[in-house]
Structures are given as structure tokens and as C-alpha cells.
Amino acid sequence: MIRFEHVTKRYADGTTAVDDLSFEVAEGELVTLVGPSGCGKTTTMKMVNRLIEPTSGQIYLDGSDISTVDPVELRRRIGYVIQQVGLFPHKTVLDNTATVPHLLGWQRKKARARAAELLDLVGLDPSVFGDRYPDQLSGGQRQRVGVARALAADPPVLLMDEPFGAVDPVVREHLQNEFLRLQSQVHKTVLFVTHDIEEAVRLGDRIAVYGEGRIEQFDPPTAVLGAPATPYVADFVGADRGLKRLSVTPIEPGDLVQPPIVHLDDPLPDAAARLAVDDPEARWAVVLDDAEHLHGWVSADALAGGGTVRDHSRRMAAWLPVGASLKQAFSTMLQHDAGWIAVLDGEHADHFLGVLTPARLHEALRRSIDADAKGGAREDVELETVSEA
């Protein structure tokens, strides 16, 4: 969708901002450009919508050399979001959002309807925010209007230059999550600039790590964190990259432990017998209801008397869907002060798949690091020492 071929930008004073850059971004892909201040990220972006012309090399958009495309025509196909947002202060939120459809000559009613739809999509109720002016919004809300405006004409490509740079970390994480949700609906081809490696890792399908005017590594987040291509990249992603990696490593079914399972209406003697067969050492069992949905757990000691499992089982709130990140798993364990979490096969408390223990979490992380370093699949990695919980 976007292709750079040997692109160099030298400014008039001799500064080489971008040096012989070649890369390609696939349709629907979200690529984050990350690197220190002054390494050429903004220059790279502005060459895509021809706010800056390269000194040499070619840039292709959807197969055509953009130097042959009229810049105004080009920019209609490219949404642009910047840190300072650049909303018109004298226009309402709704009119700001409708700017591009207006310029494209849409009828006023259609443009406003589209703007309302977009505001809704970015989480701003148009009936509440539509008639406000930009200075009546919080920083995070302004940023969302900026995203809505960039999407209004439905361009296939979005350029985002530190769009969440000016908001505090909590709001930023919120905006990032919203943006990921939005992207899963709109599937734009996105170039997203940030100097925050955490943000690059969370958002990017792939990350381009910039050194001075050059890309040092262009890989998926797990590879950048797990197998930095150069000492520079290793230094940039930081010594705590194992921790960062937790947030991009999903829980897989193979990571799970299978504890004994009993059902709510099992008589206690039956449940005790089940434990004795499945795992005489087990100190607890998972409790499922008739539909095989997670109910909670029961301690082995509680199975000695009469009655049913229901009388002694406890609810379990610490669960996640498979595919959630190891970081979510870790924080769920901490939040519930739980020694394990249940893993289910869907967002809606569907079937129980198994449990993740701290030892298995650690193991999954090490496997995924090794798999990237060796270029294989995670389940093929043999760990040298594996401690069982």
C-alpha cells in the first residue's frame, strides 16, 4: 500500500533527515515508527502526503508514484493526525469533524451526518459534544476529534504523528485501546509515529525502529523485544524488555495446566473420588456448572463431608479469555490476589480451557523469547529448566 524505495531527504542546510530509506507497509497494516527526537520520523510521514518532497528516491501509494499525483488529490486519500491536533477554534466539534467532507463538496446535511457517525465511533456522543468548541474539551477529547476528523472522508491511509503525545499516561492508554478497537473496525493502513517504545509495541503490527535517519529494525513487536537486531535497538527497547514483552505475548492453550474438574451438583463423595483418580496430590479442583462454564473452585479439604460441591465451592473472578496477554494475566492475578487464573475460550465466559499458574506464565514468556531468537514456533521450544508449580 505504501512503499519507500531508497528515499533520502536532505534539507537545505545539509542535514540528512532520512537516509536511503526502503520499506513497505501492507494494506490494513498498522506500522509504528519509533525512535529518538530528530531521527527523521516526521520527515518520513510528511513525504507520504507531500508536505515535504524527497531529495531522491520514490514513494508509491497503492502502486502509483506519488510524485506524479496532484498533492491535493493525494491528501484526500490520506488522513493526517498530529499532536497539536489543529482543530479550528471558532468551529464547533461537529463542523471541525465535517471539514474534509465539506471540502470534498458533500452536501451539508450528509457531511454533518457523517461527522456525527465518526464522533460516535471515537467515543464522543455527538449530541453532547457536537456543538461544543475545541476549548470546551479535555486534551484527550480534542485528540479524539482529531482522529474523527482524519477519518471523516474515509481515506484508506492514516498518518498519525504522536497523536497521543500530549495527554497524560492514563488517558493515553485509554486512547490507545480505543484506537485499536477502532482500527479493528476500519482497517486503515496506518503509519503511527511515537517516541514511546511502549506505545509502539502496543499498537504496531510491525515496528520500524529508527536510528539517525535509518531504520535499524522493522519487525513485529515480539521480534523487536525478543531479538533486537542491533545493540542500538537493544538499548532503545531497554533492559526491561522482558516485562514489555508480557503485553504482546498472548496466552495460548498449550500454556495451561489441567487441574481436576468437578461439577456444581456432584455429590461430595463423587467429587472426592474424582480428585483421587485425577490427581491425588491436588489441593483444589475447578468447579464448572452444567453448561461447562466456570463457576469457581473448591478446596480438596472441603470434599470430605456430605452434600454437593455447590455447598462448598467458591466463585472465581480471576479469569481471562485465551489470547489475552500475559501482562493481563499477571495483573489479573495481582488484582485478585490469586495463585492462578482460569482461561476460557471466549470473551463471554465460555468454555473452560485450563488454568494459568505463575510458573506457566514465566515459562510461556521464556518460550516466546527463545522462539523469536531462534526463529521457530513457541510450542517447539524446549526449555532447559522448567519448574512446575
Ligand X SMILES: Nc1ncnc2c1ncn2[C@@H]1O[C@H](COP(=O)(O)OP(=O)(O)OP(=O)(O)O)[C@@H](O)[C@H]1O
The residues that touch ligand X, with contacts defined as CB under 6 A, are 11, 13, 15, 17, 37-43, 195
Residue 17 touches which member of Mg ion, ligand X, none, C-beta under 5-8 Å by kind: ligand X
CB closer to ligand X, 41 vs 274: 41
N-to-C CA span, the chain = 48
Rounded Cα distance between 263 and 272, Å, is 12
Q: Which is nearer to ligand X, 43 or 99 (CB)?
A: 43
The window from 41-49, 68-76, 315-323, 327-335 that contacts Mg ion (CB under 5 A) reads 41-49
Answer yes or no: are the C-beta atoms of 189 and 157 closer than 8 Å.
yes
Query: Which range binds Mg ion by CB under 5 A, 36-44, 52-60, 83-91, 292-300?
Result: 36-44
Subset of 142-161 contacting Mg ion (CB under 5 A) = none
**How far apart, in whole angstroms, are the C-alpha atoms of residue 314 and residue 374?**
43
Strands of 16-25's sheet, edge to edge?
Answer: 16-25, 2-10, 56-61, 64-65
Among 32, 42, 44, 96, binds Mg ion (CB under 5 A): 42
β partners of residue 8: 56
What does 143 interact with, of ligand X, Mg ion, none (CB < 5 to 8 A by kind)?
Answer: none
Contact 377, 371 (CB under 8 A): yes
Which residue, 42 or 313, is less far from ligand X as judged by CB? 42
Size, binding site for Mg ion by CB under 5 A = 1
Count Cα neighbours of 333 within 13 Å in the Cβ-side half-sphere. 17
Asked if residues 191 and 48 have their Cβ atoms less than 8 Å apart, the reply is yes
DSSP 382: P
**Residue 15 or 230 with smaller CB distance to ligand X:** 15
Ramachandran angles phi, psi of 111, nearest 5°: -65, -40
CB of 224 to Mg ion, least distance (A): 20
Contacted entry of Mg ion, ligand X, none for residue 195, CB cut-off 5 to 8 Å set by kind: ligand X
Write phi, then psi, for 262 (nearest 5 degrees): -130, 165
Interface stretch with Mg ion, choices 38-46, 106-114, 272-280, 322-330 (CB under 5 A): 38-46
Q: What is the binding site for Mg ion (CB under 5 A)?
A: 42
